Structures are given as structure tokens and as C-alpha cells.
Copies of this chain bind each other. A is one copy, B any other.
Amino acid sequence: MSSKDSQWMRIALDEARGAYDRGEVPVGAVLISASGDELARAGNRIEELNDPTAHAEIMAIREAANIAGSPRLVGTTLYVTLEPCAMCAQAISLARVNRLVFAAYDPKGGGVEHGARVFSHKTCHHIPEVVGGLMETEASEMLRDFFKERRQ
């Protein structure tokens, strides 16, 4: 991990904060090109868009692929504040994302280090490099605050 990683995760955390303020589960993501430029950033918009697939990762991948004019985003890095679910993990694989950096682990809904473990199967055609736990505390606290507020 480099200081660049932390800078990009800071942007993903800003996107998570924006999701929080919209009443969405606070998850944010930013996708970076092979040459280190930002391609797209997004936060969850599931409730706002009435779209069960509008997770931050999916939104960032879709936007970047649209701009790139290709469904394959070779050499990219995705930063996301929470361990991706199985849907997002498989989308990361389908999009040929090269490297995945996430903040908080998600034992309940994660599909990378938990549950479906999408990248751990022989049939997974493209497996990114995975780094978990970068700025984990901040991301986890934001999620904890969000769910605490919702229970009140």
C-alpha cells in the first residue's frame, strides 16, 4: 500500500459520507486507470434510484466503462470503503479490474473474504489483486453510526 492508496480511499470515504447524507448505506468507491487517473467515483444510490444493483462499485464501473467505450477496464484499480458483496465482486471480475482495495471487512454481506468468496473458485475467469483493511476504522465507524441511527 502507498500514500496514493490512502488518498484515493479518502475520496471513496467522501463518497460514502455523501451516501450517508442521502439516507443510503454509507459505501463509496472510486475507480482509477492504469496510468493513475480517476475514471469515476460513486456512492450507493439504491433507495434514491430504486435500483437494487446501485451499489457504489457497480455505479463506478458502469460509468467508467461507458466513458471508456468498453465493457473491459483493463489495468484499473477500484477503491471501495466496504468489502464488496458477491454481485460487486463478480462485476469487478467481469470488468477485468486489476486491483481491488477495500476498507472495512463485511462478515455479514461480503463476497470476497466471506460468504460466496467469488475470487476463490477455479471457475473465476479473472481474479484481481485484493488488499483489505485500508482505513478500516473510519469506514466501519461510519457504517456503525448509520445503522445505530436507523435503529433509534
Known: A86-B116, A111-B116, A115-B123. A69 touches B50 (CB 8 A): yes
- In the assembled complex, which residues on chain B have CB atoms less than 8 Å from the CB atom of A58? 53
Known A50-B65, A51-B65: A90·B111 in contact at CB below 8 Å: yes
Q: On chain A, which size bracket covers the interface?
A: 35 or more
Interface residues of A (CB under 8 A from B): 46-47, 49-54, 58, 61-62, 65-66, 68-73, 85-91, 94-96, 107-111, 114-118, 121-125
Shortest distance in angstroms between A70's beta carbon and chain B's nearest beta carbon?
6
- Name the B residues within 8 Å of A125 (CB-CB): 109
Asked whether B86 lies within 8 Å of A52 as measured between CB atoms, the reply is: no
Rounded to whole Å, the gap between the CB of A57 and the closest CB of chain B is 10
Among candidates B52, B69, B110, residue contacting A65 with C-beta atoms closer than 8 Å: B52
